[in-house]
Amino acid sequence: MTRAGAGKGKGAKGKGAAGAAGAAGAAGAAGAAGAAGKGGAAGKGGGRAPARGARLTGAQAHARYEEVVARAMAAADPVVALRAAAADPALPPALRRALRGADEDGVRMSALLVARLRFERLLRGSPEAEAWFDRDPAAFSAAFRRYNAEVPPAAFFPAGEARLFRGWLEAQPPR
């Protein structure tokens, strides 16, 4: 995904869209990339990821790229999120160009697909969530929108999505 997203030349716009669309298929990569952004192993040395704006190794730059694309897929406006991420001076120019050149409609469609897949995984993995959705679709949908915006995609399977949602719900203040 990252290699396609960092395409060169006149085809970069289409390749940037492919990079963003690839995030839908690799949304779970946000778990690995997110770990790099939160002090987990990053790059070849396995040390902490540099602070925003610091010089990145190639592996760290690609991990950051995957992280920002995955986070953008859950943002209220994924296009704006990608454009903002393109301003990160720590990213190599080719990755910043890929973020700026991503096709806006492709980015929006990818974000919708990511949300739909997360929604389906959650309902399949959590009988409680499914019952809540059946009982009060509006309230459940509002809660899911908040969850999707606040919790980066990191689960590949329904049980994992259910665990993430349950943890998020438990951390919410009483309403």
The distance from CA 68 to its chain's CA centroid, rounded to whole angstroms, is 6
Task: Note every long-range contact of 154-159, with CB atoms under 8 Å and residues 24 or more positions apart, other chains counting.
Answer: 154/27, 154/28, 154/30, 154/31, 154/34, 155/28, 155/31, 155/118, 155/121, 156/28, 157/121, 157/125, 158/121, 158/122, 158/124, 158/125, 158/126, 159/125
pLDDT of residue 58: 87
Q: Give residue 63's Cα distance to chain centre.
A: 12
The single residue listed with the structure tokens 């298929």 is 25
Q: Is the pLDDT confidence value at 51 over 70?
A: no
How far lies 12's CA from each of 77, 96, 114, in Å? 22, 11, 23
Split at pLDDT 50, 70, 90, the class of 159 is very high
pLDDT at residue 64 greater than cutoff 70: yes
Q: Is the pLDDT of residue 149 over 80?
A: yes
Give yes or no for residue 165 having a pLDDT over 90: yes
What's the confidence (pLDDT) of residue 11?
38
What average pLDDT does this structure show over 91-107? 94
3-state secondary structure of 47: strand
pLDDT tier at 53 (50, 70, 90 boundaries)?
Answer: low
Report for 39-43, 61-65, 116-120: range of highest mean pLDDT: 116-120
The whole-model pTM stands at 0.66
| 16, 39, 60, 63, 65 from 46: Cα distances, Å | 28, 10, 10, 12, 17
Mean pLDDT score, 5-9: 38
Q: Is the pLDDT of residue 130 over 80?
A: yes
What is the per-residue pLDDT for 56? 80
Average pLDDT (72-81) is 92
What Å distances lie between residue 16 and 11, 20, 89, 101, CA to CA? 9, 6, 18, 6
Report pLDDT for 90: 86
**Angstrom distance (rounded) from CA 154 to CA 165:** 11
